[in-house]
Amino acid sequence: MKSKLTIQEIARLAGVSKATVSRVLNGRPGVSPQTRRKVEEVISRYSYTPNLVARGLSLKKTGSIGLVVAHTAERLSSHLFFIEFLRGINEVLDERGFRLVLATAESEDRYESSARALAQGGVVDGTVVLGVRRNDKRLRHFLAAGIPLVTVGRPIGFPKVDYVDVDNVGGARMATEYLLRLGHKEILFINGPRGHTASLAREKGYRQAFKPFGLEPDEALIVCGDFSFESGYEAVRERLARGWAPDAVFAASDLAAMGAITAFKEAGIQVGKAVSVIGFDDIPYAHFFDPPLTTVRQPIYEMGREAGLLLLLRLEGAGGEERLYRVFPTQLVVRESTV
């Protein structure tokens, strides 16, 4: 009878690292065809199958992964980015027998206490933090508890924390440059929350876009929101009420862009004809909005899967002192909300 091997034993027999074996088992890139065949031959020879129960007992696992978000549960139910991300990470973890424990907060003052309670409760094996901020205090609680951690967004101030991100700077620069090439010069930028690492990166990209055109952004046209529909709606409505002549809007989320479009519609201004609006995300609803939204696409579902895979690699002991991370490219998707 063929014996069952651990990942460590497969690595020894194949002459590779445990991280390489994990990549093969999880179908991840970064392994040469020759090395992949070598690992697969060992797996086939010894009929290896991951024993989730045994692995859980040997590593004293709870079988749960924490997902920490800086929103209320009610807000998340309508947050299409989160729903798409959740679909990706849950698929990966469910395949491997883990369940998600969601940690939300009822107010900004409760963000840190919610994370601290999860970190100190001993109920999760690892954690994914969504919506990370610069020097995010929530991360310290998981690091202090020795809980493996992956953030969505580059964790500024934590150089050893694993993360998944997109090219926020490049995406924002690409969107703003597109508006500038269309002839727009006064571009209202509706950003996300102040201090949010994605907000910082997208503002940097927005500012960079003006330089090749010999222009400087108008500081009065850079506003902070919270990625919500309401923040985009209010930013445009308030400026129209003060007599602002609309030119173009770049919003740091699709929901904020949709809010901006709605405010323009209420004022009788035709988006895609009299004014241009670009979002960021390419959530599933963006294509069906009226007008269909020009946006910066980030692979939300794939980011969810990758966050789960990186955390599983870390739980299996991969990486050592090396930081694990993945940065996805962005793509400008041109639809009918720009002119």
Q: Do both 178 and 99 map to the same domain?
A: no
What residue numbers bound the domain in which 20 lies? Answer: 7-49
Can you give the CATH number for the domain in which 18 is found?
A: 1.10.260.40
Task: Give the full edge-to-edge strand order of the sheet including 99-103.
Answer: 99-103, 64-69, 126-130, 149-152, 162-166, 325-328
Q: What is the pTM of this model?
A: 0.80
Are 46 and 3 in contact by the 8 Å Cβ rule? The answer is yes
What is the number of structural domains in the chain? Answer: 3
Query: Are residues 245 and 307 both part of a single domain?
Result: no
Based on the fold, state whether residues 154 and 89 are members of the same structural domain.
yes
Instruction: Let me know whether 174 and 158 are in one domain.
Output: no
Task: Give the pLDDT of residue 4.
Answer: 54
In a domain, 59, yes or no: yes
- Tell me, yes or no, whether 248 and 307 share the same domain: no
Do the domain assignments include residue 322?
A: yes
- Block means of pLDDT (10 residues each) for the chain, 339 residues, are 64 86 73 83 67 47 87 63 91 88 74 85 92 91 94 95 97 98 96 94 98 95 94 96 90 97 96 97 94 97 95 86 92 97
CATH code for position 86: 3.40.50.2300
Residue 333 lies in a domain: no
Q: What is the pLDDT of residue 204?
A: 98
Side chain identity at residue 2, one-letter code: K
Q: What local confidence, expressed as pLDDT, does residue 104 receive?
A: 80
Report pLDDT for 319: 77
